[in-house]
């Protein structure tokens, strides 16, 4: 169960920022004993890989905080974030951490592809929610909310990555919060759509 929570937390983190969970695992594996990556995922701790991820992370941080540019970035990240989520779930659920001592027991009989697929789906779901929310935030705040929302998302991604590795049980708190937030967000989005339609209809009548 802890392997599942660790993978879920890392994949959800990738849905907000593709590079944070990969960087977190790579840096912790390279410089600490908090996480021990399995052989097939050792490349995450490679110095060149970490350098590339750092550069990509810097680009993502800047692009995601500029209105309009953040929308273009979200379109590009539709492929990147789910891919990163698959990698993060696969690596995280197969790693030995301070709380997971026998990672092979959970996914050992299902092959390497299942954890990656699960991670892709989780990250894609979070990414689509984030991408849908950002235009609403930009429209209601005249673009001022973009850097604030992006900073909050980055902070959440960092926290989620660390929690998933160090204390994966707390990932359940995030899952409960997500389940509670989703219906509210969908209602709010529907209301915004009706308001725009009403405004257009009023303009046509005038």
Q: What would the pLDDT profile of 89-140 be if each residue is shown by its tens digit?
A: 988 887 777 666 666 655 555 556 777 888 899 999 889 888 888 877 777 7
Give pLDDT, residue 131: 84
Rounded Cα distance between 105 and 111, Å, is 12
Look at residue 95 and tell me if it is in a domain: yes
Model confidence, pTM: 0.80
Closest alpha carbon to 168 in 76, 100, 102, 87: 100
- 10 Å CB burial of residue 128 (0-12, 13-18, 19+) is middle
Give pLDDT, residue 80: 93
> The tokens of 3 are what?
């392997």
Give pLDDT, residue 52: 95
Dihedral angle of Cα 37, 39, 41, 45, to the nearest 10 degrees: 60
Is residue 119 within 8 A of residue 87, CB to CB? The reply is yes
Q: How many domains does the chain have?
A: 1
Give the residue-averaged pLDDT of 146-168: 88
Give pLDDT, residue 124: 92
pLDDT at 193 over 70: no
Give the residue-averaged pLDDT of 25-34: 92
What three-state secondary structure class fits 22? helix
What confidence tier does 40 reach under pLDDT thresholds 50, 70, 90?
confident
Look at residue 188 and tell me if it is in a domain: no
- Taking CA 174 as the corner, what is the angle to CA 172 and CA 180, rounded to the nearest 5 degrees? 105
What confidence tier does 200 reach under pLDDT thresholds 50, 70, 90?
low
Q: Please give the residue range of the domain that contains residue 142.
A: 2-180
Q: 145-166 vs 171-205: helix axis angle to the nearest 10?
A: 160
Give pLDDT, residue 70: 85
Percent of the chain past pLDDT 70, that is, above it, reads 80
Give pLDDT, residue 13: 93
> The tokens of 64 are what?
């995601």
pLDDT at 172 over 80: no
> The tokens of 91 are what?
């690596």
Dihedral angle of Cα 69, 74, 75, 80, to the nearest 10 degrees: 130
Give the residue with greater pLDDT, 7 vs 99: 7
Rounded Cα distance between 33 and 54, Å, is 21
The β-bridge partners of 35 are 97
Look at residue 205 and tell me if it is in a domain: no
Look at residue 193 and tell me if it is in a domain: no
């Amino acid at each position: 169960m802890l392997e599942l929570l660790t993978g879920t937390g890392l994949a959800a983190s990738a849905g907000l920022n593709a590079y944070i969970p990969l960087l977190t695992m790579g840096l912790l594996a390279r410089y600490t004993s908090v996480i021990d990556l399995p052989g097939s995922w050792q490349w995450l701790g490679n110095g060149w890989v970490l350098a590339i991820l750092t550069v990509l992370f810097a680009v993502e941080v800047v692009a995601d905080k500029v209105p309009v540019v953040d929308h273009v970035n979200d379109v590009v990240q539709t492929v990147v974030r789910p891919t990163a989520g698959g990698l993060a779930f696969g690596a995280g659920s197969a790693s030995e951490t301070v709380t997971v001592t026998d990672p092979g027991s959970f996914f050992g009989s299902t092959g390497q592809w299942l954890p990656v697929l699960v991670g892709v789906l989780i990250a894609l779901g979070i990414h689509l929610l984030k991408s849908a929310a950002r235009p609403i935030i930009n429209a209601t705040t005249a673009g001022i909310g973009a850097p604030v929302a992006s900073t909050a998302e980055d902070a959440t991604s960092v926290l989620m990555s660390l929690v998933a590795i160090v204390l994966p049980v707390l990932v359940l708190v995030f899952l409960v919060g997500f389940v509670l937030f989703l219906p509210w967000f969908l209602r709010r989005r529907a209301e915004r759509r009706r308001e725009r339609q009403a405004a257009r209809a009023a303009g046509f009548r005038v």
